Amino acid sequence: MSATSWGWLVLAFPLAGMLVIALGWKVLPDRVAGWIGSAAIGGAFASAIAMLIDLQDQPEEARSLVDSAWTYASTAGFSVDMSILVDPLSVMMCLIVSGVSFLIHVYSVAYMESDRSYKRFFAYLNFFVFSMLLLVLAANFVLLIVGWAFVGAASYLLISFWYRRTTATKAGIKAFVINVIGDVGLVIGAFLLFDATGALDYAGVFADVGTAFSHNDGQLVAACLLLLVGAFAKSAQLPLHTWLPDAMEGPTPVSSLIHAATMVTAGVYLIARMHPLFEQAPAAADISAVIGTLTLFVAASIALVMTDLKRAIAYSTMSQIGYMILGVSVFAYSAGMFHLMTHAFFKALLFMGAGSVIAAMANEQSLDKMGGFRKAMPFTYATFTAGALALAGFPLTSGFFSKDEILAYTINRGDWFVALAVVGYITAFLTAIYAFRLVFRVFHGEPSEQARELEGGHLAHAEPFNPATGEAEDTEAGFPGPEHHIAEREGAMKAAMGPLALLAIFAGFVQIPGVTDVIEKFLEPTFAGSHYVHDHPSDSAEYMGMAVGALISIAGILVAARIYLWRPGTSAKLQERFAPLHTLLSNKWYFDEAYDLGVVRPMTALGRFGRTVIESSFVQGFLVGGTVGIVRAGSSFARSIQTGELRAYAAVLLLGLSAIVLYFLIVAS
């Protein structure tokens, strides 16, 4: 079987899984649906590996295979096919997506067990994986946009999974609306490209980029900026980031899969895939790098003060994706993709650990109420710490190698990029602090009462409630199930978290600068046409960067230990001293309030205006009422001719006769 046939299989497995679960939900028992979903993704992962093997069998120049299933639209001038593109970049994304999704499916089999909508969950998850793989494997803009939109829809479905919670549905709508803004940007950007190059498939567009556009051509920059709008909306970068923290309303496996490892990385994938365009329009790439840097700093600063565990990890995601965006925007593609891979491992792991902790807390998500779970949950502690180490970039973990490679490339670009790299290093320091803030606050210190209960062998139980608002709920469909599952007691959860912990620690060894360069070599065929891809920083520069990074990470961990572990009470004092800063950070830099004032209120006012003035007065009153009035007047006029008087009728007859004679007179003359 050729690589592209495996590619179609990669798509077919999750689609089949979704269809089987969705159509058979009445007859399938819960667990079976879970295993079917996981098996489907497992099949996809296996097919992705087969695809990889087949691809590597091809000679290097020919590692970009396109296969078309059928012609979607064919008109004069061009045609659009349902075609997939199998090349190293898409294969890498497929492997990451299907691999991490498989582990998360296994985790969810146990974690979501008592949920009344268990089967719906797996159907949605499979649909999401299918959409993400479609997005990644697409060979033309049309299929990309289809996958992009499906992924947005799946995200909405999964965020508002517990649909009876108003907070969840509102969050889902918010995510979807911001995603649609991105979709619009993507579509218009694709259209601008089509307008100039006349092609919609990647091969056609990229081949024509040099001829159709000059360096930093206005239309190309505009198209790239619009593509960036799409990328930033999907990847939760400033200013389209406000949906990601709210998206934590979804179940934890959803946060782990979509909002850490896969969907939010679609923007990074997009920029990497569109690299010929961005290299021809470096202005857009520079803007992207700046926004990535801003995001990584702002998000890390907010993560320092977040008290909700999941939201803290969400801001961490935002920050790390900022790193990835920075990486691909300074044309360090393999570094950016490498960080995408390692981040998928450790962030998914962190969310899984958080899920376990929240289950132990009986759905309580606030950091203030947690503490001292070290003894009660050793496995969760170990894996969570592994993820936190990778996040903080502790030396020799995967996060260490990937993050420092990006920063090394950034410095290598020179000029003002060095300033971006400095911000990157400062944020790495902040990252280490907030990562271990979480570790110390959750697992160290005085055990909370839930931890004490768990130490005694009894899982804490509380009346079901909404962690965001505190209002009471029940446990029927539309709300979380009554039981909570922690990693220590569920084999499936351990089976998922264990491999991820190992990968989070050891996966960095594939790309040690100067020693191994598996990722870079693998991705080389995709980025062969790039001018910048061979612009390596020297090995010594990279080692310097790594040394700086290691120092920063250890320093951050020590600072966090001092504030949260050795001298409890320090954080309260710091909050008092830097109160205005703390308020700014707690209110997430007031982005939500700004949007409310700048966008939501004018829109609501416009809507109200539309309803009252335009709809009621103008359309109803004037147009409809006016038409009715005119018709009524006309018909009452017509009615008034029916007087019933004979002589009037005779007069009208005569008048008509005169008119006819007049007509013939005029015609004949």
- The contact set with another protein (CB under 8 A) reads 639, 642-648, 650-651, 654-655, 657-658, 661-662, 664-665, 668-669
**Between 76 and 668, CB nearer to another protein:** 668
Q: How far is the CB of 647 from another protein (least distance, A)?
A: 5
* Cα 40 to Cα 46: distance, rounded to the nearest angstrom: 10
Q: How far is the CB of 630 from another protein (least distance, A)?
A: 21
Task: Tell the smallest beta-carbon distance from residue 641 to another protein (Å).
Answer: 10
SS (H, E, C) 253-280: HHHHHHHHHCHHHHHHHHHHHCHHHHHH
Judge if the upstream peptide bond of residue 282 is cis by omega within 30 degrees of 0: no
Between 603 and 651, whose beta carbon lies closer to another protein?
A: 651
State the nearest-atom distance from the C-beta of 661 to another protein, in Å: 5
- Min. distance of Cβ 609 from another protein in angstroms? 45
H/E segment holding residue 68: strand 65-74
Minimum separation from the CB atom of position 634 to another protein (A): 16
- Between 580 and 644, CB nearer to another protein: 644
Closest contact distance (angstroms) between CB of 651 and another protein is 5
Cβ-proximal residues to 550 (8 Å cutoff; 6+ apart), any chain: 393, 394, 395, 400
Nearer to another protein by C-beta: 515 or 665? 665
| Residue 624 or 655 with smaller CB distance to another protein | 655
| CB closer to another protein out of 75 and 642 | 642
Judged by CB, which is closer to another protein: 418, or 651? 651
Separation CA 24–CA 123 (nearest Å): 10
Q: Tell me how far, at minimum, the Cβ of 664 lies from another protein, in Å.
A: 8
Query: How far is the C-alpha of 190 from the C-alpha of 138, rounded, in Å?
Result: 14
Residues 6+ apart with CB under 8 A from 282: 215, 216
CA 5/CA 455 separation, integer angstroms: 52
User: For the stretch 226-243, what's the b/e string if a residue is b when 16 or more beta carbons lie within 10 angstroms of its beta carbon?
Assistant: bbbbbbbbbbbbbebbbb
- Other Cβ atoms less than 10 A from the Cβ of 652: the count is 12
Question: Rounded to the nearest whole angstrom, what is the least distance from the CB of residue 170 to another protein in the complex?
Answer: 60
Cα–Cα distances (Å) from 526 to 64, 65, 84, 189, 206, in that order, read 7, 11, 15, 22, 12
Q: Between residues 216 and 658, which has the closer beta carbon with respect to another protein?
A: 658
Cα distance between residue 450 and residue 378, in whole Å:
15
For another protein, give the closer residue by CB, 619 or 661.
Answer: 661
- Give dist(CA 33, CA 118) in Å, integer: 8
Q: Which is nearer to another protein, 600 or 655 (CB)?
A: 655
Q: How far is the CB of 650 from another protein (least distance, A)?
A: 5
Cβ nearer to another protein, comparing 414 with 644: 644
Least spacing, CB of residue 657 vs another protein, in Å: 7
CB atoms within 10 A of CB 129: 33
User: DSSP string of 69-123?
Assistant: EEEEEE-SS-EEEEEEEESHHHHHHHHHHHHHHHHHHHHHHHHTTT-TTHHHHHH
Nearer to another protein, 528 or 650 (CB): 650
Least Å from the CB of residue 176 to another protein: 59
- Nearest-angstrom CA–CA distance, 348 and 129: 15
CA distance 102 to 207: 36
Continuous H helices in 112-217: 118-137, 141-159, 166-197, 202-212
